[in-house]
Amino acid sequence: MNSLTEPSTVTTRRMWAILGLVLLADAIDVIDGTITNIAAPTIAQELSGGESLIKWVGPAYMLAMGVLLLIGGRLGDKFGQRRMFLIGMGGFTLASAIIGFAPDPAVLVAARVAQGAFGALLIPQGMAIMTKAFNRDMLAKAFGLFGPVLGIASVGGPVLAGIVINADLFGLSWRPIFLANIVLGVAGLVIATRILPRDDDADRSTIVDGWGSGLLSVSMFGLLYGLIEGSSNGWSAFSVVSIAVGIVSLAAFAYRQRTAAHPLIKPSLLKNRGFTSGMIVGLVAFAASTGLFFVLSLFLQEGLHASPRDASLALVPLTAGLIAASFAAMGGLVTKLGRTLVFIGLAVSLVGGGWVLALVNQSGTDLGLWALAPAFVVIGIGTGLCFTTIPTVALGDARPDEAGSASGSLGSIQQLASAIGSAAVTSIFFHATTSGLDHAMKVTLVVFVAVTALSLPIVALMPRKALSEPHE
């Protein structure tokens, strides 16, 4: 039975319960991906991890999530979404507990990698479960709730993290922000075992491209490890070799996708100019923006001496602008404007970045927190337009049989770009701190503006219309 065209056999009450569970899982993922923007300096200080730990604590999670997200979806098809959801939730909860009790940087980073890996098993299953169990009306209601809930999570997570760190609950400093996942994860597991449909329709014949997965993992790890360690501890031969291995592995991954019988990314997508252009623009936009957000948090705390709570509150205007723009884009703007909206979003981001650059250039580290609020709103609006619009427009020329692979690829690109951006931009920031934190912030903003500007011409190669529109 096709749940998209025929009534579902699942009761309405159970559908709402499943939706609540999926939203809980996705919200936890968003929160754990963003709270380190605020918590990283405190974590590094208390674990004596230095700059290297600050650079790793966010990207470690995003890297594992991005590399394994496509694989997680395939494993759900092969072994059943319910089974993978339970394994993902259980592993994510255990990894969160290890992070919360981590005695040193090595344990924390390893647990963050595990957390991202189990998250990659968990997150893809929710949409597949809903597609099978929900009728069309319930799916429409579900999709309408994802934006607001995840938007609240993206704002509330860092703000709550800042408040918790400042409160120093039970003398645990930053640790409760991860230990809270134990309660949420156990509750999610209990509910999931009771309400998720059985995996009677799993296709054990589904083939997962192990070689492709391995090459992608080696590539991303090699690039990030070489970048972070080289910029933190000097460009040794090992750092350079690590980056070279990453580049060679990435080329091998691309070749594998063209020749494998069951590739992670359909070869026809790689030949689609509109889709590949969208991936490039998305890679640049996600990397530059995510890296800038992280560095802004560092500058507020290290340069302007804001507490974690005050820094998280100072970033609320940016996140509010992002959420408002996202709703406006999905409310009809992307349908009317298509790729033009991507261009507008990048241009607005440039204005916001230039505004902050002017403020820092004028006042340096004497800059007041709330003087940045208007510029932060502008950056948020530009970012919101891009983050929401780029995936939808990039899929504009994809065939129906390519949509699943294309959507999964863009999700992975977003996570990998976030990891690369956090690592690269923080490396630039720390490298420039020898001349002062205000100088480091200015250098970072110049790089952000330059990279964003260079991506503007590529927008013209993206599909003119978004996915939902008929093509002429």
Q: In the predicted model, what is the mean pLDDT of residues 123-141?
A: 79
DSSP line for 129-160: HHHHH--HHHHHHHHHHHHHHHHHHHHHHHHH
pLDDT tens readout for residues 261-282: 777 777 777 778 888 898 899 8
Q: Would you state the pLDDT for residue 355? A: 96
pLDDT grade, residue 140 (50/70/90)? low
Report the C-alpha gap between 156 and 135 in whole angstroms. Answer: 31
Q: Would you state the pLDDT for residue 443? A: 94
Arithmetic mean of pLDDT over the chain: 85
Report the C-alpha gap between 182 and 185 in whole angstroms. Answer: 5
pLDDT tens readout for residues 38-92: 999 999 999 998 888 888 888 888 888 877 877 887 788 788 889 999 999 999 9
Look-up of token digits 């694989």:
71
Locate CATH 1.20.1250.20 in the chain.
1-205, 268-472
Q: Would you state the pLDDT for residue 456? A: 93
Q: Would you state the pLDDT for residue 6? A: 41
Lowest mean pLDDT among 75-89, 327-341, 367-381: 327-341
- pLDDT at position 382 over 70: yes
What percent of the chain has pLDDT above 90?
37
Q: Would you state the pLDDT for residue 384? A: 87
**Contact 468/335 with Cβ under 8 angstroms?**
yes
Q: Which two tokens stand for residue 429?
A: 């920031």
Q: In the predicted model, what is the mean pLDDT of residues 402-421?
A: 71
- pLDDT at position 8 over 70: no
Q: Residues 1-205: name the CATH superfamily.
A: MFS general substrate transporter like domains (1.20.1250.20)
Lowest mean pLDDT among 1-15, 43-57, 250-264, 411-425: 1-15
Report the C-alpha gap between 346 and 378 in whole angstroms. Answer: 11
pLDDT tens readout for residues 180-231: 999 999 999 999 999 998 876 665 656 667 788 888 888 888 888 887 777 7
Look-up of token digits 């863009």:
410
What percent of the chain has pLDDT above 70?
91
Q: Looking at per-residue confidence, does 402 or 339 come out higher?
A: 339
> Amino acid identity, residue 345?
G
Q: In the predicted model, what is the mean pLDDT of residues 15-24?
A: 91
The percent of the chain in helix, strand and coil, each rounded to the nearest 5, is 85, 0, 15
What does each C-alpha distance from 47 to 108, 360, 414, 445 come to in angstroms? 9, 30, 29, 29
- pLDDT at position 320 over 60: yes
pLDDT tens readout for residues 143-162: 667 766 776 777 778 888 89
Please tell me the pTM assigned to this model.
Answer: 0.80
Give Dmax (Cα) for the chain. 65
* Helices and strands: H and E segment counts in the chain: 19, 0
Lowest mean pLDDT among 53-57, 174-178, 359-363: 53-57
Which CATH architecture is the domain 268-472 placed in?
Answer: Up-down Bundle (1.20)
Q: In the predicted model, what is the mean pLDDT of residues 394-408?
A: 69
